[in-house]
Amino acid sequence: ASMAKLYATEVAQEVIDQAVQIWGGMGVVVGSTVERLYREIRALRIYEGTSEIQKLIIAGEALSAAEVEKAAE
């Protein structure tokens, strides 16, 4: 789940960053669709753990899986 959240929110942020660049000043006008999406996507990256926390969770799960595999040998 952490991998999916991290990937989806990071890609969404890249897309909306590009949209803001394409729209220029109009992309940050309060009330515009691009501005609203920028705010919403930023919130998604923070909700239920920042991207950095998701990376820590993924790393912890990978290490746990490696320990289980090593113990099974």
Q: What is the pLDDT of residues 51-61, one digit of tens each?
A: 788 888 888 88
Span 2-25, mean pLDDT? 91
What is 2-72's CATH topology?
Butyryl-CoA Dehydrogenase, subunit A; domain 3 (1.20.140)
The pLDDT assigned to 4 comes to: 85
The token pair that represents 38 in the structure block: 């920028």
Question: For position 48, what pLDDT does the model report?
Answer: 67
In this predicted model, what pLDDT tens digit does every residue of 26-45 receive, in sequence order? 988 999 999 999 999 988 87
Q: How far is CA 37 from CA 1, 19, 27, 67, in A?
A: 23, 10, 10, 41
**What is the pTM for the complete model shown?**
0.67
3-state SS of 19-63?
HHHHHHHHHHCCCCHHHHHHHHHHHHHHCCCCHHHHHHHHHHHHH
Catalytic, 52? Answer no
Q: Give me the phi and psi of 49, to 5 degrees please.
A: 110, 130
Q: Which of 14, 40, 48, 61 is catalytic?
A: 48
